[in-house]
Amino acid sequence: MMRNILILGAAGQIAQQAIHLFLEELGVRLTLVLRNAQRLHHFANNPRIRLVEADVRDHEVLQQLVSQHEVVYANLSGDMASHARNLVAAMTANQLQRLIFVSSMGVHDEVPDEHFGTVLQPYRDATQIIEDSELDYTIIRPAWLNNRDEIRYGITQKGELFVHPDATVSCKSVADVIVRAALNHSHIRQSLGVHQR
């Protein structure tokens, strides 16, 4: 049985690593949503990938996309609170529960002596909206990122201090957390800090 996974913000660094990891699993079909589909043109001929050029701020489009999938993985930027609200509404309307949402370390004030000022407020707001929903969410809070070709990480839970906040973690490591959570239906209603190990 094929599992249909929707990736919003598919051109992002983490998302592109996740796409490759998802494709290692035979029972997965991906819909990649981004504003400029040409950026991922190299996936156009893959029979398990559908490229969709769309803006997730379009409520109607988002509703249609969500309705055809079992898992939504959102790797978005911009007006994070608005994205979160729209996503919760679209998923709730379509009775779709499983959401993996990338936020940022620091949204729970889990980095000692560092509050990041107002930079994180959009991520805090979005995280709160997701946590207040009835969805089976997993929030991902990665450390600063690097592009090393490695999977090496540790995880902290909400309420625990973030480990090694000054060290970078590979995009591929964060992608591994996302793919495992999506395929194994694990870390339900949890907020995971992902750090270099």
Per-residue pLDDT of the chain (197 residues; tens, 9 = 90+): 789 999 999 999 999 999 999 999 989 999 999 999 899 999 989 999 999 999 999 999 999 999 989 999 999 999 999 999 999 999 999 999 999 999 999 999 999 877 666 788 999 999 999 999 999 999 999 999 999 999 999 999 999 999 999 999 999 999 999 999 999 999 999 999 999 99
| Predicted local confidence at residue 139, as pLDDT | 98
When divided into structural domains, the chain yields a total of: 1
Q: How many CB atoms lie under 10 A from the CB of residue 60?
A: 8
Q: Are 140 and 100 a contacting pair, CB within 8 Å?
A: yes
Q: Which domain holds residue 121?
A: 3-196
Look at residue 26 in the predicted model and tell me its pLDDT: 87
Please tell me the distance from the alpha carbon of residue 179 to that of residue 25, in angstroms, as a whole number: 10
CATH number of 54's domain:
3.40.50.720
Strand 153-157 and strand 190-196: the pairing is antiparallel
Is this model's pTM higher than 0.85 or not? Answer: yes
